[in-house]
Structures are given as structure tokens and as C-alpha cells.
Structure 1
């Protein structure tokens, strides 16, 4: 199979990076994401995992992919996939500006941009994610923009995933 690539961008800041899908390690997750592209949504900066930005989406796969290529210690440039029940994200502590109902599933597509990440949530414990992509170009610029997002705020910013040209 030929390598597949996507572009990950912070739209308002005009910053993008390129990532290769890890079809050999997470084939079901890669297929689900690829078939759903383009995807974009409000960006959030993680409170618990440290150096992570992400967007939340309604489920987009016909069948939820299983945990593939799992990690609880993502490295810089990892793209991770998480599926959460609404009850897991429904507390005000997470800071969402919309209601997240119990019984709802949300897909979290995340980009890790720096070292020393640990997927441990004080409310529910370990949160393994599927590593489905790896940034191959533009990580330094994206990391600088993510750090700016952490310091100045995410309001009005969009995280976008689309097939690379």
C-alpha cells in the first residue's frame, strides 16, 4: 500500500503540518478517519495530558474501531484517536462550552506536539489512545502555535484534518 498523508492545521493561525497515516499499525482507525475526511472543529488544549491539542467529533465510522497501536505516553508528532462516552466528558471541569450528554459518544482526534505526555486522568484513570498518524513535516512550527494556543487561548480557533494534496 502506498503511504497516505494528511494535513493538520490550526486554521485561524494559518499553521499546518503534514502527517503520515500508520496504516500498518492501526489499519481500522486509519480507514475510519481517512473515509471521514475532511474533519474540523473547535480546538481544545488538554488539561491533563500536557502537550496535546484536540477536537471533538460525533462518531463517523460505521463501526467504532478497536484500540490499535495503543499508548499512554504519546511522543511529539503522534496523532491519537480516542472514543469517549458522554459521561466521561460531561463534568464542567473539562471546560466545554457545549453540553456533553451521558449516552453520547464523542471521538477525540488529538495531536501531541511536545514530550512528557501521560494519558492519566484523575477522574477515570489511564486513557489509552490509538496512535494512527505521525507528523513528518512542520512539527516545530505547529508546536510553537500550540504553545501560543496554550498561553493565549483557543477561543475562535479550529483544528482541521484533511487529505494532503
Structure 2
């Protein structure tokens, strides 16, 4: 990726009309960045994390030819981190996670997440550590996005869309 100009995306909560700008970490997660970039725009129902604390995310069908390796992994994302996770339907298809209507065993899902505040820990009581790939970092608009994410946590996510698009 040497010589490549920085690439940026916009991450939005559509109904709340809030957008932040993030830089792709092509130098640290080139395969993941390429997979996401080549698939944009992406948008889906937003969820607020139960276990990881200050995280919003959307679930998508796999969009890469093959799933990226665990490049630039973390279990302690910081504010502004964009993370990529891959889950098998068997991992999410349980009523305790609340996806029982959307997720079926044998289905693979990609989780694109934005972490908006400190003190996140990717530790799930049912399965243990859940490392994610850090593929982007918010460089503009994190404060407004964090405020909107807190509102989402308090007011609910129903009807809200998380959108990722090229800037």
C-alpha cells in the first residue's frame, strides 16, 4: 500500500442525521480495508452492543471473496475505532442475543462496528474473547456521533440505520 493516498469514509446514523468521517487503516489492515472499500456503500439496521459497552454496529451478509485474516486485532477498542467481525449464525442465532428472527444456523454474518467511548472490552460471557479487526479510525465528528449513540442507547435503535459510504 506504499504511496497510496489516505482513504476516508463517512459513517452515519441516518435518522438522527449524524455523520462522522473516518480514515481507513490501509497500512495496518489492508485486506480488510480493501474488502470494505470495494463493497461500499453499506447500510443496515443499527444495534447497540450489550456486552462490549460503547459500540454500535450493523450486520451484513459476507461481502468479501474470502473473509479477511485477523489483521490488526484488538479486544480493547478505543473511541473512534471501526472494527470488523465475522460470526457464524450458530454463534449469534440464540434468543439471548436478540437476533433469533434474523440469524439462522449456517449463516455467516459480518459485523461492522463503531466504538464511540472508552472502556470497551470484547469479552462475551458465553464465548470468551471476541477479537475484532481495527480497520478505520474516526478523525472528525466523534463527539456528535457519541452523543447520538448515547441517545440510541437510551431511546432505542428501532428504525435507525447505520450507513458506511466513501467520503
TM bucket (normalised to shorter chain) is over 0.9
How far 1:123 sits from its partner (Å)? 1.0
CA distance in 2, matches of 1:118, 1:110: 13
How far 1:96 sits from its partner (Å)? 2.5
1:37 partnered with 2:33 = no
Check conservation: 2:48, 2:153, Cα contact below 8 A: yes
Question: What residue number does 1:54 align with?
Answer: 57
Q: Which runs of 5+ in 1 are unaligned?
A: none
1:73 partnered with 2:76 = yes
How far 1:163 sits from its partner (Å)? 0.1
Give runs of ≥4 in structure 1 deviating > 4 Å. none
How far 1:97 sits from its partner (Å)? 6.3
TM-score, normalization by structure 1:
0.98
Q: Which runs of 5+ in 2 are unaligned?
A: none
Question: What residue number does 2:11 align with?
Answer: 8
Cα deviations by residue, 1:95-136 (Å, 9 ceiling, x for unpaired)? 226331111100000000000000001111100000000000
CA distance in 2, matches of 1:99, 1:6: 27
Question: What residue number does 2:129 align with?
Answer: 126
Check conservation: 2:37, 2:166, Cα contact below 8 A: yes
Check conservation: 2:94, 2:100, Cα contact below 8 A: no
Q: Give the number of equivalent residue pairs.
A: 164
CA distance in 2, matches of 1:27, 1:98: 34
Question: What residue number does 1:161 align with?
Answer: 164
Query: Over aligned residues, Cα RMSD in angstroms?
Result: 0.7
